[in-house]
Amino acid sequence: MSDIPVEFSQLIAQVVSALQAEADRYAATDCAPKIASAKLHLTQIKDPYNQLPSYEGIWRNTRHDRCGALTINSDGSVYAEFDMFCPHPRDKRWFVEMVTAWGREDALRCEAKLIPSLEE
């Protein structure tokens, strides 16, 4: 992980934990991706709205494909997503595309993005 202000370390850990819990919930037993803060590559950017410092992060898989992203806005709000691409473990009608997290440190929300399965 790139150098970032200390105040964001706890926020990033909280986001990663929320994404991992959601991924574990929507993957087959022991098949969820391992989402780690240490694998996140962060860069400082300017918030396009107010020109203040913000951060963008990217997770990459072993083939170096982008498999997740995290944005920390200058106001402390966050949005993160991590690709799953797996069948729903309990309902064959659905396919799990990704897990997402958004909000602030004191009010973080997380959900899985489901799309209809092609299986009948």
Share of the chain above pLDDT 70, in %: 94
Is residue 100 in some structural domain?
A: yes
pLDDT of residue 20: 96
Is residue 1 in some structural domain?
A: no
Domain range holding 72?
A: 6-116
pLDDT digits (tens, 9 = 90+) for 44-75: 999 888 999 999 999 999 999 999 999 999 99
Distances (CA, A) of 7 to 22, 29, 76: 24, 34, 10
Is residue 81 in some structural domain?
A: yes
Is residue 103 in some structural domain?
A: yes
Is residue 64 in some structural domain?
A: yes
**pLDDT at residue 2 greater than cutoff 80:** no
**pLDDT at residue 84 greater than cutoff 90:** yes
23 CB-near residues (< 8 Å, 6+ apart): 32, 33, 35, 82, 84, 99
Number of domains in the chain: 1
pLDDT of residue 48: 84
pLDDT of residue 103: 97
